[in-house]
Structure 1
């Protein structure tokens, strides 16, 4: 019987509110350009009111990845908590509309749906101000054992590894996946996640609980507390069966025990917004992996998906990624 899903992803269910501003908007509010900050409900309300008209679309790292997988012709499901409010309805509508299987019922009590207020400056840098809200209330009851067993790969984001309840949910899901003989993939998400949970992340790797690890250059260096990317990549060698380190304009490096393979970027027609580039790289790589492609081609699929998403505002693909991959890889 074929798997129902190629990838089942667990992550923060967040609505992105994307607005364009000049640098002085950030300077006037004392917000570091290019940063990713966690903010309170009060600050979220104030900032939301001040950014003016913005584009609202369901986001969140792992959710963006599932949207990319579907655009590439794959089958994806997402697990994340929203509330029964306006933004929660936006999230559920958007992710289902692109073809992702999303079945988690909205919470009728607790905190509002999470939101990420993204300020994009003229140089395409994004500054992310995130109120997690109901995301952090995800718990073990949200994990459907049959759905996890029906997925070729279980994928989760480091952003969610903080409150005890989501951690328990992830541990339950990974135990089910491993019992079912499925692959478990993880993205480190951000340097601040690594700095806060380095011991936990290394523990997951050392216990053999992670089959595929995604990290960008800065996250990999932070994980092993080094300023040298080659040292970080060497430390990953053999720590997990498969690791992929993305390096922005330098492409990506695929690391397997005793081997490294560098893959250049796929050039983008233009760069308007780098939001979601890493999420879409993971989408391309994981889709290629579930199709049985060579690891180098999986990474090329990742660069194709990442190139498309930085060509426009927003972290979800707008072009037919499946067609782009066919044109370049066949």
Structure 2
């Protein structure tokens, strides 16, 4: 085990079955003939954040619970094949899985199997403390075992980030994550008033920056110093084929900038570039932008060479 990790990723491992459908929403029919077909691969939110960070050159360790099953074997192979350090804890209910319906325009609808989780699921405290002790930052997925790890990460003095995904701003389940992280990502899709929710997170929690992603509209930043600030989207370099993993890629790019000491707007630009790249990768693929490509696109987008990432 490396003596120092840039980022410890907690939770978010699993397997997705990708189903390509002719349109979303999918009208009812007895059956559909679909191409390119149905394929199962490892990769859920924590897996893709770890992949994105590793591709950007950050030393990353992923900790999560998975099952002793064929799906768990896919998760193990994912980390092994991409050179990501992975510590697994047995998950009695079996490896988490989902079905993603993907339309021709790249939009997706995810169906998560919630039967794998148990109230008793926990990440061992000693293990969390050990890994936190050799890490600079922790990115915490909003899975049940991870909420119990938050106090241990605070105790270790780590900065923390989390992605609330499609939080509606009201569901209390998300609040420990929202108020316990220094960097908070959230999709604006289900927020009736994104700015109000972002300000509440700043006021009630420990967040220094809140980022609301808005897909093709870009993202919005809010810090204690003011805002919100709109960061425009970045046009993908290729055809948009799938939005799976775009939010995870955005988080990876943003954290790359933050750990390099960049200002929030530059971090959001990095996130936008990484997210745009992810939209050009088929749902069955596992590819993330690397540091050279990201920094090159940032220079092309802004015309300035700042942000070499030397602090990461």
TM norm. shorter chain > 0.5: yes
Query: Alpha-carbon deviation of 1:124?
Result: 1.5
Contact 2:166 2:188 in 1 (8 A): no
| Gaps in structure 1 of 5+ consecutive residues | 31-46, 222-226
- State whether residues 68 and 317 of structure 1, in contact with CA within 8 Å, keep that contact through their aligned partners in structure 2: no
TM normalised by structure 1 equals 0.78
Between the aligned partners of 1:235 and 1:24, the Cα distance in structure 2 is 33
Partner of 1:64: 48
| Contact 1:13/1:80 (8 A) holds in 2 | yes
Whether 1:114 and 2:96 are equivalent positions in the alignment is: yes
| Partner of residue 125 from structure 1, selected from 107, 125, 129 | 107
Say which of 257, 260, 272 aligns to 2:241.
272
The alignment status of 1:88 with 2:72, answered yes or no, reads yes
SS in 1 for 2:83: coil
Counterpart for residue 211 of structure 1: 182
CA contact (8 A) 1:88 1:113 kept: yes
* Deviation string, structure 1 residues 115-148 (Cα, Å, up to 9, x no partner): 1111111121212122145455641327431112
Partner of 2:28, secondary structure, is helix
Cα pair 1:112 1:133 within 8 Å, conserved: no
Match of 2:172 among 190, 193, 197: 197
Contact map agreement 1:16 1:57 (CA 8 A) in 2: yes
Greater per-residue helix proportion: 1
Aligned to 1:40: none
Q: Aligned-pair distance for 1:213? A: 0.8
State the 1:16 CA deviation.
1.3
Q: TM-score, normalised by structure 2?
A: 0.82
Displacement of 1:282 in angstroms is: 0.6
* 5+ long unaligned stretches in structure 2: 299-307
CA contact (8 A) 1:213 1:244 kept: yes
2: CA distance between counterparts of 1:151 and 1:6? 6
Aligned length: 290
The alpha carbon displacement at 1:24 in A equals 8.2
RMSD across aligned positions (CA): 2.9
- 4+ runs deviating over 6 angstroms: none
Offset, 1:294: 2.0
